[in-house]
Chains A and B, each alone.
Chain A
Amino acid sequence: MSERGVTLLSACISNGSFSCPQHWACPPAEMCDQTFLAITFGPCDCCSDTKPLMNIYLKNEPVNYCSLCVERMACQGLQPNETLATLKMESETLKTKLEEERAKLHDVELHQVAERVEALGQFVMKTRRTLKGHGNKVLCMDWCKDKRRIVSSSQDGKVIVWDAFTTNKEHAVTMPCTWVMACAYAPSGCAVACGGLDNKCSVYPLSLDKNENLAAKKKSVAMHTNYLSACSFTNSDMQILTSSGDGTCALWDVESGQLLQSFHGHSADVLCLDLAPSETGNTFVSGGCDKKANVWDMRSGQCIQSFETHESDINSVRYYPSGDAFASGSDDATCRLYDLRADREVAIYSKESIIFGASSVDFSLSGRLLFGGYNDYTINVWDVLKGTRVSILFGHENRVSTLRVSPDGTAFCSGSWDHTLRIWA
Chain B
Amino acid sequence: MTDSKYFTTTKKGEIFELKAELNSDKKEKKKEAVKKVIASMTVGKDVSALFPDVVNCMQTDNLELKKLVYLYLMNYAKSQPDMAIMAVNTFVKDCEDPNPLIRALAVRTMGCIRVDKITEYLCEPLRKCLKDEDPYVRKTAAVCVAKLHDINAQLVEDQGFLDTLKDLISDSNPMVVANAVAALSEIAESHPNSNLLDLNPQTINKLLTALNECTEWGQIFILDCLANYMPCDDRESQSICERVTPRLSHANSAVVLSAVKVLMKFMEMLPKDLDYYGTLLKKLAPPLVTLLSAEAELQYVALRNINLIVQKRPEILKHEMKVFFVKYNDPIYVKLEKLDIMIRLASQANIAQVLAELKEYATEVDVDFVRKAVRAIGRCAIKVEQSAERCVSTLLDLIQTKVNYVVQEAIVVIKDIFRKYPNKYESVIATLCENLDSLDEPEARAAMIWIVGEYAERIDNADELLESFLEGFHDESAQVQLQLLTAIVKLFLKKPTETQELVQQVLSLATQDSDNPDLRDRGYIYWRLLSTDPVAAKEVVLAEKPLISEETDLIEPTLLEELICHIGTLASVYHKPPSAFVEGSRGVQHKRLPARAVITLVKRTGLSGSNMGAGLGVAPAAMPASLGGAPAVGGGLGDLFDLGGGVGMPTGSYVAPKTVWLLAIKAKGLEISGTFARRGGIIQMDLSLTNKAMSVMTDFAVQFNRNSFGLAPAGPMQVLTPLSPNQTIDVSLPLSMSGPVMKMEPLNNLQVAVKNNIDVFYFSCQYPLSLLFVEDGRFYRQVFLATWKDIPNDSEAQFQIKDIHLNSDVASNKLQGSNIFTIAKRTVEGQDMLYQSIKLTNGIWVLAEMRIQTGNPNYTCTVPRIVYASLLHSQ
- Do A and B belong to a common assembly? no
